[in-house]
Amino acid sequence: MSPSIEMKKVMIIGAGFAGLSAARKLAKCGLGLEVTLFEKKEDSAFLPLLPDCLGRSIHPEFLLSNIENFCGKLKIKRLREEAAAVDFESQQVVTPSSKHAYDFLIIASGSQTNFFANQTAQNYAYALNNIDDVGKITAALESNKFEHFIICGGGYTGVETASNLWLYFKQAGWDKKIIIVERAPSILGPLPDWMKTYVQNNLKSMGVEILVNSVIEEVQKDRVRVCARPVFEKAMLIWVTGVRTADFIQQLPIAKNPQGRIVVDEYLRVNPHCFCAGDAAFFRDKNNFLRMAVQFAVNQGNQAAVNIIQSIKNLPLKKFRPLDLGYIIPLANNKSCGEVFGFKLKGLLPTALHFIMCIFRLSGLNNRWGLIRNLLKGGGR
């Protein structure tokens, strides 16, 4: 191994699915790289189970894996700091307190709730994008002070959340009103019509009201006004309208899509020394772009690492070829739906597949066993 290879510094911003997958590959590649991971949080969280924590009483603790342990085992340098900027010219990651020079960088900072600059929503609404959000929503539910539960956004997370609130209230024996407010003419935007109809009927059978072509017009503390409707009093607003990328990305002088996702080439490159993976990356596959999903984040993280290794070895880069296994919309009454390996699925089977995927991808035996125990108990509070 040449000394120049040993000294290469590879930095990764973000310890989510993409960042950890990249870090693992780089640490194990045998080139003696100095791998540094920037992440402020103590733990990495398994986001697909967040809505299930509400209805199925899955303990959020089972969704967490400790980043310090991960880095310790793989001899990765861990900086508990947030990237505030990247200087591509001088090849430096800038944090609020220092600057760090890199030879190669992977941006894997994921996404965060997009409030579309609506300050009152930001002040009063609840988001569902990390473990802290679960704690806040659960505390608000337990307080039993709300009568109306307005979910702003009828995408995947919105419908999953509505069904989990339904389950929560059913178990508690409470009669509450759940309303999904969606700006578009239908929920679940780009998904096939059969799926939209199935989910819509399913939600209606749970008593969830769906308002399409509708927007939230005014938000105050515990009060929400939806267009053409009387003000909802004692209202809890859950804001799941979509996501945008991390703040520092907005300032970077590179091509981005309207969500702020960084446009990458077929090798996941931003430039010869910077790669991007996961939700932060905007990757076009033929005429489609890849949706935000765990499977793509993990594979892209790995592929970005492979291409850094190829670059260091002066070998040709490898194209990222996404393998789409499909997707599932897990609903808490166990009538889920999805398309897996091209097969249309409805009912209990996709529900089971959702949890099998989660058990498979969760890190650590304790977490897996904890989740299985929670599921076997069948929720309940």
Name the site residues for ligand FAD (rule: CB under 6 A): 13-19, 38-41, 44, 47-48, 50-51, 82-83, 108-111, 128-129, 157, 246, 248, 278-280, 292-295, 297
Least Å distance between CB 225 and ligand FAD? Answer: 26
Residue closer to ligand FAD (CB basis): 79 or 150? 79
Residue closer to ligand FAD (CB basis): 232 or 246? 246
Helix (H) or strand (E) holding 21: helix 17-27
Residue closer to ligand FAD (CB basis): 39 or 339? 39
Least Å distance between CB 230 and ligand FAD? Answer: 30
d(C-alpha 171, C-alpha 364), whole Å: 30
Helix (H) or strand (E) holding 336: strand 336-340
Residue closer to ligand FAD (CB basis): 203 or 232? 203
Least Å distance between CB 257 and ligand FAD? Answer: 15
Residue closer to ligand FAD (CB basis): 210 or 281? 281
d(C-alpha 379, C-alpha 163), whole Å: 14
d(C-alpha 58, C-alpha 375), whole Å: 7
Residues near 357 by Cβ (< 8 Å), separated by ≥ 6? 48, 328
Ranked by CB distance to ligand FAD, the top (closest) residue is 16
Least Å distance between CB 247 and ligand FAD? Answer: 7
Q: Strand, coil or helix: what is 25?
A: helix
d(C-alpha 82, C-alpha 92), whole Å: 13
Least Å distance between CB 314 and ligand FAD? Answer: 28
Q: Counting Cβ atoms within 10 Å, is residue 330 exposed (0-12), middle (13-18) or buried (19+)?
A: buried
Least Å distance between CB 240 and ligand FAD? Answer: 7
Specify the DSSP class assigned to residue 261: P
Residue closer to ligand FAD (CB basis): 232 or 306? 306
DSSP secondary structure, 100-150, as one string: EE-SEEEE---EEE--TT-HHHHHHPBP-SSHHHHHHHHHHHHHT--SEEE
